[in-house]
Structure 1
Amino acid sequence: MAKSPSDSFFQTVENLGQCLQSHLSNFLQRIDSHRKSDPSLSFNQEKLSSSSSATVADDPINLPPLLVKQDQSAKPSTKEEVGRATWTLLHTIAAQLPERPTKQQKRDVKELMAILSRIYPCKECADHFKEVLKANPVQAASQAEFSQWLCHVHNVVNRSLGKPAFLCNRVDARWGKLDCQDRACDLQGIDTFLDK
């Protein structure tokens, strides 16, 4: 049975999530090792919320106060924050695409853009992105081509918002490949061996 485009999208997001989870875990381990080696980075358990009886060992998300903003209030994300996060995700996916993507990976990239233009959480933005895609069809014959296409499209959106354009010859310096051990962040295509 063939996978639907949304299945491919969610698989890609799941793979990226696993990679990010791995990086976060490594980051937290480094924080813990630094705290153990430098007593000045320690903090008293009393500094944690008085309603919480958990310890740092029980909950690795409780970071030392040095690494957590003290005045954090819960609030919904802004349209701008979602936009920046989306562009970061898209540029990171582009950087991780193999130099010679499989047919399935090329289809996935195109479908991802189409899905975003339909389900993006800002209707005005989604409608504008549909127009941008219509005028600038997805180019994903290679990793470099897709990265450059995405940079161009990002600049189209930036210009419409009155923001400066990004120099696309610097895209790899800004959004290069993730630094993952043992190629753990490489994207895996469904038919990797069939397209070579």
Structure 2
Amino acid sequence: LKDTERDPKLNLNRLNNIAEYFKDVMKKYQEDGTLNIKVLMTEPKALIYQIPGGMLSNLLVQMKSLNAVDKFQEVLDEVPKVRKDLGYPPLVTPLSQMVGAQAVFNVISGGRYNIIPTEIRNYVRGMYGRPAAPISDEIKKLIIGDEEVINVRPADLLKDSYERLKEEIGYLAQSEQDLLSYALFPQVAKSFFERRTQNISIESH
């Protein structure tokens, strides 16, 4: 883009100096094990494994924490199988983490679906909506047993908690925004409201 109308006017010499500096920083963290060089490598097989780059690095960190890096390839092979079992969910947060965790459990536990996270059970029950493709009866039986799959909008099953929350927080909530903050972050919001009320009381005296 240099010398064009879209020239970003970057100083290449300074950029080069910055790059050289961070090479030494990278080397330091590489040597102490904080940074695994594998996550920096281009992985052409990502399309085969159906794994986004961020998910790939997270899986590697998981396997390292479990002292099971030698089984990393098995986990990569397992991911598309789990994704197929679950009706091809899109690998975006939180579904990518859920599929990845199930693939790890399937490999390290010595058998497929020996360990099943609650999130996967809820997904198969329909709590995350309808999957892109049908989940086989065999997989449903394996994961949720005889539990029924919900056929309504998951949010419709939630109880209205507005009045309960309003009563709980009482005078500490001075606006609708306060009430929403309390609904989302109850402990943090309540603590903040209490300090705010104390400060107002001190100032009024």
Q: Do these two structures clear the TM 0.5 threshold for a shared fold by scoring above it?
A: no
- Identify which of structures 1 and 2 has the higher relative contact order when contacts are C-alpha pairs closer than 8 Å and 6+ apart: 1
Shorter chain as normaliser: what TM range?
under 0.3
TM-score normalised by structure 2 residue count = 0.24
Which has more radius of gyration? 2
TM-score normalised by structure 1 residue count = 0.25
